[in-house]
Amino acid sequence: MPELIALGGARGVWDELREARALFPDADIGAVNDSGADYRGHLKLWATLHPEKFERWQRFRERKGFNTDYVAVSHKAWAGVRVDLVKQFLWSGCSGLYLCQIAAMEFGYQQIILCGMPLTAEPHYFDTEAWTQATRLRAGWKEAAQQPELKDRIKSMSGWTRELLGFPDKEWLAVPAS
């Protein structure tokens, strides 16, 4: 059954990844934005709503010697940037929600665990400023969570998204979403 661990940019992302790996040891890894540049393991899917920054992140990943055979996805093409798949974003939200949309609808992932995507105002792991847009983006998550394409497919390790979507408990892990 296709399973994906989706990496965001919150401070707890790497600790949450270790916890999620214990639940889904063989899951593919998808990431958004900076976490895709920094993830040292095999990255399968990388999505962004910031294609203007993607080239810098991709170069960084390549210079570090990390795998480059991931699928790069964005909502629009950008000159000089590798984007393997361009797909419209269906709900108003962040790159993490976009990754979930692509993972479920384009790649058929049935179970997705969010790591480092609490959708709270805490700073990202790579900076010190509060992410003030977080609460504004929650409406898109609420709408998307009710759609048949995503409903019951996504769980979260922390924060507001955990409250909305639930934690990946034993029952969810044992019974795949339909």
3-174 placed in CATH 3.40.50: yes
- 62-70: long-range pairs with CB below 8 Å, 24+: 64/40, 66/39, 66/40, 67/42, 67/43, 70/36, 70/43, 70/44, 70/45, 70/46
Nearest alpha-carbon partner for 81 in 52, 109, 110, 102: 52
- Tell me the one-letter amino acid at 152: D
pLDDT average, residue stretch 150-175:
93
What is the per-residue pLDDT across 91-113, written as a single tens digit (0 to 9) for each? Answer: 888 999 999 999 999 999 999 99
Query: Alpha-carbon distance 21 to 99, whole Å?
Result: 18
Task: Identify the band that residue 176 occupies on the pLDDT scale cut at 50, 70 and 90.
Answer: low
Range name among 6-10, 51-55, 88-92 with the lowest pLDDT average: 88-92
Instruction: Check residues 20 and 2 and name the one with the higher pLDDT.
Output: 20
Mean pLDDT over each residue of the chain, to the nearest integer: 93
Residue 1 predicted with pLDDT over 80: no
